[in-house]
Amino acid sequence: MATSRTSWADVADAEPARLLPRSPPTPPPPRPTAPPAPPTSRRTSATAPPPPPPPPPAASSAAPPRAAPGLLSRPGAGAPAPTSFGARPRGGGRGWDREPDPFADSAPPAPDADAADEFGEHQNTGINFDAYEDIPVETSGQEVPPPVSTFAEIDLGDALNQNIRRCGYVRPTPVQRHAIPISLAGRDLMACAQTGSGKTAAFCFPIISGIMRGPPVARPQRGGGMGMRTACPSALILSPTRELSMQIHEEARKFSYQTGVRVVVAYGGAPITNQLRDLERGVDILVATPGRLVDLLERARVSLQSIRYLALDEADRMLDMGFEPQVRRIVEQMDMPPPGVRQTMLFSATFPKEIQRMASDFLENYIFLAVGRVGSSTDLIAQRVEFVQEADKRSHLMDLLHAQRDTGKQTLTLVFVETKRGADSLESWLCMNGFPATSIHGDRNQQEREYALRSFKSGQTPILVATDVAARGLDIPDVAHVVNFDLPNDIDDYVHRIGRTGRAGKSGLATAFFNDNNSSLARSLAELMQESNQEVPAWLSRYAARPSYGGGGGRNRRSGGGSRFGGRDFRNDSSSFGKSGSRGGGDYYGGGSSGGYGGSSAYGGGGYGGAGAPSSWD
């Protein structure tokens, strides 16, 4: 159930700032030619965005033409005939089918990356892989394929290998080392690995490689009616938020550049016509949010009958009560091939046992992979918890920001609050006080959300105030500090939130403001910090020790006992295996409680305050 907890972030009305006119919604990104309009509000003044990037150049050295992939009843579209594993032939040779260079806006890879002889031992610049070296890994399931140490050991194909080099990836991360061979062997996989540890590539590489080497897509003759065509992707990647879907799409486009594998994204809040046009051009891999996909399926513009690969990113979120009905509908009640026929991969940094149990419906003879402790945060993130009363939160935040500014370093700070109203209010207040900020939450329209994210990423507004819509998956380089201005009710949400910093081997800082309102989180927070080698303040330990403050079972109780790593596959837990109705037991991973997965607060029903269908997030 969504919480109605209020926070000091909500109370702009008590502050001088609220007496000023409220900021109008952020305008759409400015036109490339016009100079930025004079500021009309704090929000707009602080966030004058850079002009949109020019359209990416068409790839001049495009691979040979190939028929449009994954499209039913495409007139004249013969089945593409893969000619080599290096790259599939591309279709049409028509202007619109030229492949823009997805690397055009990227920072150049490590200087020696291109020459990095078979992905030798050179490290990608800025990535501290040693941080991951001694991480414990556990796999369970039958006949687990062995891990690899280098990309060179995996036969991903020349074209994909070339793109891995272009990305500057020199060595696989631990989750990639284990997950890629498992997926390439055709096995279903439930994988849990820490935030920022490269899970996106871990599911994208096998999918792209499998499509490149796979048979041509079958093309049934049925259409969507009214002469419309039905797109028939080979792979489906589902994610819970629009921004995450866009990010996965961008990544997957890089990985599949000039492979002939076409990636399309579909998410709510954006005009469906553009997405339909994209789908008509053909699609091998469809990245989507559930709501928009259901819409496309109902319009018969997408068919899932050719799906060979299904990946659920943030799988635990996809299967909690906010999304589960839609996801079940997509996976079980449409025309998708069943488990065993398709290959299914579930990824997240957190995987409560009750969700594992539910997820096992989607899998067949799967391998469970845990890199690091399930649901743990990475040691790369320095975690601080400070006791701050509600009324003092703003001044405390201000102190932190001033201290940060005094270091002279330009850093990005992500501030999580509980409510959408709180996000707006805090954003305005920060701007009023000389800290350029923007915000992202479910009441902002999609254009505003994307604009806010761009403005933050570019450093134009180095503070982003966000609800949990930004908690999962977003990979924003240079986020140095995550502030939990309002702590979440759920320790898993905390893990994902702080995971927006300390990514890809870099270090980061997370500060949480704790007070009596957060007492139910005390124990799990203290345990998490301890597991991650963080100093737990004595006052927090005292909170945690009180039985009524998070000490009594339920979802926020972690399975403690001092063991930093152990069996996490719910199939190995004799007390919970097979008892699908059992939700108690006081084991964090298996324990459901009233505060558990009863509602997807940020994702459901348009955000906080509404349960049910995640309509506004997709």
Ligand X SMILES: Nc1ncnc2c1ncn2[C@@H]1O[C@H](COP(=O)(O)OP(=O)(O)OP(=O)(O)O)[C@@H](O)[C@H]1O
The mark string for 540-569 relative to ligand X (x by CB under 6 A, - otherwise) is: ------------------------------
From the CB of 418, what's the least distance to ligand X, in Å?
Answer: 21
Residues 502-541 that bind ligand X (CB under 6 A): 503-504
CB burial string 420-444: b at 16+ within 10 A, e below = bbbbbbbbbbbbbbebbbbbbbbbb
Beta partners for 302? 231
User: Per the structure block, which two tokens stand in for 415?
Assistant: 């501030």
Q: Which of 132, 169, 205, 570 binds ligand X (CB under 6 A)?
A: 169
Does residue number 172 form part of the binding site for ligand X (CB under 6 A)?
Answer: yes
In this structure, how many other beta carbons lie within 10 angstroms of the beta carbon of residue 417? 28
Q: How many helices (H) and strands (E) does the chain have?
A: 17, 14
Tell me which stretch binds ligand X (CB under 6 A): 53-61, 166-174, 295-303, 483-491: 166-174
User: Per the structure block, which two tokens stand in for 531?
Assistant: 């597991």
Which CB atom, from 358 or from 380, has the smaller least distance to ligand X?
380
Does residue number 205 form part of the binding site for ligand X (CB under 6 A)?
Answer: no
CB burial string 275-311: b at 16+ within 10 A, e below = bbebbbbbbbbbbbbbbbbbbbbeebbbbbebbbbbb
The 3-state DSSP class for residue 430 equals helix
Q: Which of 499, 550, 596, 607 binds ligand X (CB under 6 A)?
A: 499
DSSP 549: T
Q: Tokens 């065509």 map to which residue?
A: 229
In this structure, how many other beta carbons lie within 10 angstroms of the beta carbon of residue 97? 17
Does residue number 494 form part of the binding site for ligand X (CB under 6 A)?
Answer: no
Does residue number 196 form part of the binding site for ligand X (CB under 6 A)?
Answer: yes
End-to-end CA distance of the chain: 20
Q: How far apart (Å, rounded) are the C-alpha atoms in residues 513 and 96?
A: 51
Q: How far apart (Å, rounded) are the C-alpha atoms in residues 138 and 271?
A: 43
Q: How far apart (Å, rounded) are the C-alpha atoms in residues 321 and 582?
A: 17
The mark string for 301-330 relative to ligand X (x by CB under 6 A, - otherwise) is: ------------------------------
Which CB atom, from 176 or from 559, has the smaller least distance to ligand X?
176
Q: How far apart (Å, rounded) are the C-alpha atoms in residues 88 and 486?
A: 49
Q: Which of 173, 306, 413, 425 binds ligand X (CB under 6 A)?
A: 173
Does residue number 199 form part of the binding site for ligand X (CB under 6 A)?
Answer: yes
Tell me which stretch binds ligand X (CB under 6 A): 217-225, 287-295, 383-391, 499-507: 499-507
From the CB of 349, what's the least distance to ligand X, in Å?
Answer: 4
Amino acid at 602: A
Q: Which of 2, 349, 431, 544 binds ligand X (CB under 6 A)?
A: 349
Tell me which stretch binds ligand X (CB under 6 A): 103-111, 164-172, 292-300, 509-517: 164-172
Which helix (DSSP H) or strand (DSSP E) does residue 192 occupy? Answer: strand 189-193
- Given a contact cutoff of 8 angstroms between Cβ atoms, the answer to whether 410 and 462 are in contact is yes
DSSP 508: E
- Given a contact cutoff of 8 angstroms between Cβ atoms, the answer to whether 446 and 25 are in contact is no
From the CB of 359, what's the least distance to ligand X, in Å?
Answer: 16
From the CB of 411, what's the least distance to ligand X, in Å?
Answer: 17
Which helix (DSSP H) or strand (DSSP E) does residue 45 occupy? Answer: helix 42-46
Which CB atom, from 100 or from 477, has the smaller least distance to ligand X?
477
From the CB of 99, what's the least distance to ligand X, in Å?
Answer: 20
- Given a contact cutoff of 8 angstroms between Cβ atoms, the answer to whether 217 and 306 are in contact is yes
Does residue number 197 form part of the binding site for ligand X (CB under 6 A)?
Answer: yes
Which CB atom, from 141 or from 499, has the smaller least distance to ligand X?
499
Which CB atom, from 471 or from 529, has the smaller least distance to ligand X?
471
Amino acid at 544: A
Tell me which stretch binds ligand X (CB under 6 A): 178-186, 197-205, 336-344, 514-522: 197-205
Does residue number 109 form part of the binding site for ligand X (CB under 6 A)?
Answer: no
412, 100, 346, 339: CA torsion to nearest 10? 170
Which CB atom, from 169 or from 588, has the smaller least distance to ligand X?
169
Does residue number 475 form part of the binding site for ligand X (CB under 6 A)?
Answer: yes
From the CB of 496, what's the least distance to ligand X, in Å?
Answer: 7
- Given a contact cutoff of 8 angstroms between Cβ atoms, the answer to whether 420 and 426 are in contact is no
Which CB atom, from 119 or from 549, has the smaller least distance to ligand X?
119
Tell me which stretch binds ligand X (CB under 6 A): 104-112, 141-149, 188-196, 259-267: 188-196
Q: How far apart (Å, rounded) are the C-alpha atoms in residues 337 and 335?
A: 6
Describe the strand order of the beta sheet including 437-440 as a list of residue ranges: 381-387, 508-514, 479-484, 412-416, 463-466, 437-440
User: Per the structure block, which two tokens stand in for 213?
Assistant: 């080497």
Does residue number 372 form part of the binding site for ligand X (CB under 6 A)?
Answer: no
The mark string for 17-56 relative to ligand X (x by CB under 6 A, - otherwise) is: ----------------------------------------
373 to 192, 404, 562, 577: CA distances (angstroms): 8, 31, 12, 20
From the CB of 505, what's the least distance to ligand X, in Å?
Answer: 8
From the CB of 373, what's the least distance to ligand X, in Å?
Answer: 14
User: For residue 325, which phi and psi values (nearest 5 degrees)?
Assistant: -60, -45
The mark string for 116-155 relative to ligand X (x by CB under 6 A, - otherwise) is: --------x--x----------------------------
Which CB atom, from 12 or from 193, has the smaller least distance to ligand X?
193
From the CB of 541, what's the least distance to ligand X, in Å?
Answer: 28
User: Per the structure block, which two tokens stand in for 123?
Assistant: 């490290």
From the CB of 394, what's the least distance to ligand X, in Å?
Answer: 28
Does residue number 198 form part of the binding site for ligand X (CB under 6 A)?
Answer: yes
Q: Which of 375, 442, 473, 599 binds ligand X (CB under 6 A)?
A: 473
Which CB atom, from 124 or from 230, has the smaller least distance to ligand X?
124
Q: Which of 23, 47, 139, 200 binds ligand X (CB under 6 A)?
A: 200
Residues found near ligand X in the complex (CB under 6 A): 124, 127, 169, 171-173, 176, 193, 195-201, 349, 473, 475, 499, 503-504
